[in-house]
Amino acid sequence: MCSLMIIKMKEFNFKDINWQLIRGTLALSLMTNEPVLLNGAYDYVAASHDIIPLYHDLKSSIAETGAGILTETGGDLAYRPEPLEPGTLNISTGKFTPLSEIELFFLPALFAGNFRSVIHYEGVTHSHLSYSTTFLKETLFSLLEKTGHYASMNLKRFGFYGSGGGIAESRVYPAEPRSAGDIFHFNEKKIEGVKILVSGMNMEIAVREKEFIKRNLGIDESRISTLEIADSNGFGNSIQVYVRCDDMNFILSRDMELYNSNGDFIFDESLYYSSLTDLLEKSALFMKSDTVPESIKLEVLPYLYITKSPIPSELKDSSLLRVCKELF
């Protein structure tokens, strides 16, 4: 006689579904070893052309590392995690998957390990779809340290969206959880400088960007640096605004959208300057604000919950907080 094992899954139905919420829920599922069913999540992925390559690379990374099985069930996503042993992982993503998304998926589970993990990445280090490796190293990991979660990211070769080929190494250490205070407010903020990175393109574009930034952000030309990236696979252009916030760097950046998810070169000058203007407006808004963008708070939220740190009032009704409460 054949017996079937029925796996009980925690079921989630999100009205505000988005990729950050999907990835965050899957990451916490892996950390807690709790199977989950995300209603409508695959419908969302399938309707988002930019997300499809990312999803498939995440699915492959899960299978290759033995971290369980991620499957599509109609329009839903079902994830049956398996315990992830700390150690050395080698992960290669395609030309359209920011490796930061894979890193953020594995982080919670690796923090819960009993010894250090090292992840060797090949793929996209800079993309308009997610955070750059520089942001993880300088900003996000600095915030996580305040809750006793330590990780590093070492960029070895640039890899831009549409060409890939980047190389990075992350080290993740067993957590030393501690309750943190209000980590999202700073006593002092100062724009330290702006970096303009260009790969495979005429440096004249960096000159125009430098002038545009100087005129619209109101900082001295000497604090705007340009760098031509020689060691990368293809075209890329990244602008990074460095803001010194007390004892850490907060980086606001924009990687220009030069390719679509089919690999077609789609440079559009009007869209280009619209993106640059948006970055400068958000930088000015951040300087006037007394807190950090909500999307960044959501990345830190699970670690606040784990360490019983104060949860910002604006996140207390968030879907991700509900996930934390149901999985822990």
- Give the separation between CA 233 and CA 77, rounded to whole angstroms: 34
Question: What is the fold of 7-84?
Answer: Translation Initiation Factor IF3 (3.30.110)
- Give the separation between CA 259 and CA 143, rounded to whole angstroms: 32
For residue 104, give Cα distances in angstroms to 37, 53, 125, 132, 194: 20, 16, 13, 12, 26
Task: Give residue 4's pLDDT.
Answer: 40
pLDDT-flagged residues of the chain (< 50): 1-5
Q: Which two tokens stand for residue 130?
A: 């997610």
- Give the separation between CA 70 and CA 23, rounded to whole angstroms: 12
Task: Give residue 6's pLDDT.
Answer: 58
3-state secondary structure of 143: helix
The segment(s) of the chain belonging to CATH 3.30.360.20 are: 189-288
- Give the separation between CA 42 and CA 51, rounded to whole angstroms: 10
Spell out the residues 6+ positions from residue 76 whose beta carbon is closer than 8 angstroms to its own: 37, 38, 39, 40, 41, 42, 43
- Tens digits of residue pLDDT in 143-185: 999 999 999 999 999 999 999 999 999 999 999 999 998 999 9
3-state secondary structure of 193: strand
- Tens digits of residue pLDDT in 287-325: 999 889 999 999 999 999 999 999 999 999 999 999 999
| CATH class label, 189-288 | alpha beta
- Give the separation between CA 233 and CA 121, rounded to whole angstroms: 15
3-state secondary structure of 76: strand
Under 8 Å between Cβ of 172 and 117:
yes
The segment(s) of the chain belonging to CATH 3.30.110 are: 7-84
Task: Give residue 2's pLDDT.
Answer: 43
